[in-house]
Chains A and B, each alone.
Chain A
């Protein structure tokens, strides 16, 4: 079982609120990722990080921001939530030192903006 944790699991929030989705991993992985997934659909990469102080935007444009101050922590922030942000957000990590290794995923945060 992967040691990567996301909180909260479920979040219902009003439009305009600022929210932060937490993600932590205890595997010492350098690489971390955020994916957005609508129900039954594929995962879309929105942010990733190669290590501390590294953040990059993914393939899917997102209004969210991320930070990587510590290796184990990769929070995602929405400054002003909108109903279009309603989705599932999945955090993942992988061993950046090894070529072609799988990513380990957290349980996800299901966000609903009303």
Chain B
């Protein structure tokens, strides 16, 4: 079946550097993508989303890029801080009336911040 996957299980970056977490998706019909952050012992927390009619969206210190040609999604975190340490999941949604019933999650990338 269709799936969303992440390229790297672990990403280690120096504090203050920029982080880039990548994701490849396989369903070309997906029209909504979300990045979630999950800290240890907590549920996933929404970071940023992007619709398929956009190729870039910026939030506070985060930017999501969508390349529909190669079905690639990335999350950029500027000036990485210790509090950014978490597992990051990308998820795609094939619109079926909203909400998360169509969300497919990737395996997650564990972002480790080096002091």
Contact = CB atoms under 8 A, between A and B. Distances in A.
A42 B99 contact: no
A81 interface: no
A104 B42 contact: no
B112 interface: no
A33 B32 contact: no
Contacts of A98: 98
A40 B87 contact: yes
Interface residues of B, number: 28
Contacts of B32: 100
Contacts of B31: 100
B98 A99 contact: yes
Given A92-B100, A95-B98, A108 B42 contact: yes
Nearest to A99: B98
A105 interface: yes
28 contacts: A6-B43, A31-B98, A31-B99, A31-B101, A33-B101, A40-B107, A42-B89, A42-B106, A42-B108, A43-B44, A45-B101, A45-B103, A56-B101, A90-B44, A94-B99, A94-B100, A96-B98, A97-B98, A99-B97, A100-B31, A100-B32, A100-B51, A100-B95, A102-B34, A102-B100, A105-B45, A107-B42, A108-B42
Interface of A: 6, 31, 33, 40-45, 48, 56, 58, 90, 92, 94-108
